[in-house]
C-alpha cells in the first residue's frame, strides 16, 4: 500500500495490482481454453476414419498449446501490465 501512495513509487504499486489482475484473468483464459478443448476432443468421431481422428486430435492439441502459451501475454496486454 505504501508503494501506491507515493508519487514516485505509485506506478510500481499500480503495475503490481495490474499484474495480479492479469494473472487472475490468465487463469480464467486457461480454464476457457481447456473447456473448449475438452468439447472439441469429445466430439471427434472415431467410428469412421481413425487416421483423421488422430490428426484432428493432434491439431486440437497443438492449438491448445499455442493458446495456453499466448494467454499470459494476452492477459498482460489487456490489463496493460508490463
Question: Helix, strand, coil proportions of the chain in percent (round to 5)?
Answer: 80, 0, 20
pLDDT digits (tens, 9 = 90+) for 68-77: 999 999 999 9
Distance, in Å, from the CA atom of 74 to the CA atom of 80, rounded to the nearest integer, reads 10
pLDDT in tens, 13-64: 888 889 999 999 999 999 999 999 999 999 887 778 889 899 999 999 999 9
For the chain, the structural domain boundaries read 2-79
Q: Within 10 Å of residue 16's Cβ, how many Cβ atoms?
A: 13
Q: Which of 3, 64, 19 is nearest to 38 (CA)?
A: 64
| Entry pTM | 0.82
**CA–CA distance, 80 with 63 (Å, rounded to integer):** 25
pLDDT for 1: 62
State residue 3's pLDDT score: 62
Amino acid at each position: 500500500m505504501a508503494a501506491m501512495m507515493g508519487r514516485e513509487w505509485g506506478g510500481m504499486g499500480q503495475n503490481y495490482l495490474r499484474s495480479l489482475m492479469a494473472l487472475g484473468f490468465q487463469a480464467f483464459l486457461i480454464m476457457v481454453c481447456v473447456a473448449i478443448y475438452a468439447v472439441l476432443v469429445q466430439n471427434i468421431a472415431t467410428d469412421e476414419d481413425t487416421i483423421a481422428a488422430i490428426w484432428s486430435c493432434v491439431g486440437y492439441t497443438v492449438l491448445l498449446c499455442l493458446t495456453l502459451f499466448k494467454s499470459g501475454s494476452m492477459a498482460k496486454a489487456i490489463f496493460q501490465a508490463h
